[in-house]
Structure 1
Amino acid sequence: MTYGRVVAVEASPEVLDAARDHIDDEWSDPRVRVELSRVDIPADTASLRDTLGRPADLVWASAAVHHVGDQQAAVTALAGLLGPGGRLALAEGGLPEQHLPWDVGLGEPGLEGRLHAAQDRWFAQMRAALPGSRRMPYGWTEALRRAGLSPVTTCSTLRERPPPLNDVDRGMVLVNLAHRVGWLRPTGLVATADLEAWDRLLDPADEHWLGRRADLFRLSVRSVHFGVLSAVPPDPTRTSDVEPACGWTAVSSDQAGSSPPAGSALSFCCISSRLPAGSVRRSSQGAESSRPGRSASPAAPPIPSC
């Protein structure tokens, strides 16, 4: 018997194929039906609503909305897929992963910080070049509120791997830094002196190779912004609809063995990140990390604690 349904959508056929392979390999719960659909948000919102066939209990969009020219229009469109008590979760923002001490002994101090700054400049250029690009001069919780959701809040999770890193984490740091430097190299946004320093730091034959350091670390913050479509219109006299806590009710191991009450089958919609060509491997990882939770109440509950 099927108790829930997940509709995963993506505009790229390549990413959809990778997601399909990942689901075939990893998804084993017969009570939850997973469907894939090629959809471009917000242009295809109406067809997605038809595909769903009913309002969604949860819409999860991970690193996707910032690839849409009009981000507010996209958030509003996603909110329009919800039923009363449904939740929209946007994984956007946070803090980029850091790996190095401020001074690595090669080049000017602050090398990794300048790499982050170059990526920010690239991001601004990418946003400006999107079709129908419009600035959104406010934060994600305000975008959720303007889409008619209340309450809204943000849950941020600190991820840390302190030094000394194990071989797996050290390898991931080296791959991540090499990818980012290689990606930004042709943009002209990284100074020549910094590129020369990175070339030495990432060269296993160089005495300054990062793979020999014992002080590498992994530190980042992931933020998810939540909004609820309330069954009761918000009180306009309230100064804020923000709840002090965040998160959603997830399926725990003990819940997985029980059956939901009759008529309570849940519907989810997952919006994947729009990754550049050649990033199918990353999209498969994202599909695993963004496996949806579930909301069990038909009315808009207070957002539970993390």
Structure 2
Amino acid sequence: MSHASPHTAPDHQAGHGHAPHASHSQPFRHDADGEAEILDLDAAVLAEHIASITASLPLTAEPRHIVDLGCGTGTGTFALLARFPEAQVTAVDTSADHLRRLREKAEAKGVADRVRTVQADLDVEWPDLGAPELVWASASMHHMADPDRTLRAVHDLLAPGGLFAVVELSGFPRFLPEDAPSERPGLEERCHAASERHHAEHVPHRGADWGPMLTGAGFAIEDHRTITVHLDRSHSDAVGRYALHSLRRMRDTVTQNLSAEDLDAYDQLLDTESPRSILHRDDLAVRTERTVWAARRGD
């Protein structure tokens, strides 16, 4: 199971063995700490949107036990704890580092007694997760090796009448105007095209319509909506850092398909010492979409 962000984060898959561009090194390789940082930035920038999703869930009663699949560093976990003050959350992820960070934040927020962490790879084996009334999976389902098997497992896991909330990415967020940067206009769109080609091969379920698969697993779809996000830099002082770390993580998946000129411009954006650094731009905005399916267990 992926340890991608549990709500709205970019797809943080690492590169799959692509060689560096012939005339460039790769100075921006990421690690677990880098991934954790971007998950936390994602939470800071998009907190209001996460809260709006949790508030709109078609629940018949407030859940007392929630499972967060692919919890990352806890963004979804803490949004759910805030929305449902009587609930306990079981947070599941493959990454011990992310779960440690989540526990530290739970202690700092005074909610450690309401959080249980479980390290597990659900493509291999499902631990005992109880019988929750709500299962939350955001930016994680598309990483499953066998999504149909996972959906059936969630259906069987839920308490009778329980709800499964799937929040999925429409793609990698965009940050720059179409005519930027001035020396290579349209660079970001070319990067997105390259990234989409990469993910079509390596993450084939990203962008899937989960409705038919949920229905096939025995769920009844009760809500299906697409949420558009457009936040300019005035919304949060974290937008610049969010853009920087997001584009750093995207770099490995696009280098083979960029010209030398494009890659030079890309690296200027990532170079915090450069006057062309993305951190110096005042025209940034976070533009993305998330699709939400809320599905009831059929009994």
TM-score per shorter chain, which class?
0.5 to 0.7
2:284 counterpart of 1:227 = no
Aligned residues: 215
1:209–1:172 Cα change, 3 Å: same
- The answer on whether the counterparts of 2:170 and 2:291 sit within 8 Å (CA) in structure 1 is yes
- Corresponding residue of 1:178: 248
* Alignment match, 2:266: 198
Structure 1 residues 204 and 15, CA gap change in structure 2 (3 angstroms)? closer
Unaligned runs of 5+ in 1: 129-134, 232-306
1:149 aligned residue: 219
Q: Distance in 2 between matches of 1:101 and 1:127?
A: 27
**1:161-211: CA deviation from partner (whole Å, max 9, x where unpaired):** 236676442343233323433x336x5243332111112334455554444
In the TM superposition, residue 39 of structure 1 has moved relative to its aligned partner by: 2.3
The residue type equivalent to 2:94 in the other structure is A
Q: What is the aligned-residue identity percentage?
A: 27
Provide the rounded CA distance (Å) in 1 between the counterparts of 2:286 and 2:259: 24
Superposed counterparts of 1:66-145, under 5 Å = 66-127=142-203, 139-145=209-215
Query: In 2, Cα distance between the equivalents of 1:158 and 1:127?
Result: 23
Instruction: Report the equivalent of 1:38.
Output: 119
CA contact (8 A) 1:164 1:215 kept: no
Secondary structure class of the residue paired with 2:215: helix
User: Secondary structure of 1:83's partner?
Assistant: coil
Q: Which has the higher helix share?
A: 2
Describe the shift of the 1:141–1:184 C-alpha distance in structure 2 as closer, same or farther (beyond 3 A): same
Q: Which has the higher contact order (CA 8 A, sep 6+)?
A: 1
Rounded Cα–Cα distance in structure 1 between residues aligned with 2:247 and 2:260? 16
The superposition leaves residues 49-102 of structure 1 with CA deviations (integer Å, 9 ceiling, x where unpaired) of xx41xx220111122222221122212211221122101111212343211111
Match 1:169 to one of 239, 262, 279: 239
* Match status 1:59 vs 2:142: no
| CA RMSD across the alignment | 3.0
Larger Rg: 1
Task: Return the TM-score normalized by structure 2.
Answer: 0.61
Gaps of 5+ in 2: 1-64, 66-85
Q: CA deviation at 1:17?
A: 1.9
Q: Which amino acid aligns with 1:180?
A: M
TM value normalised by structure 1: 0.60
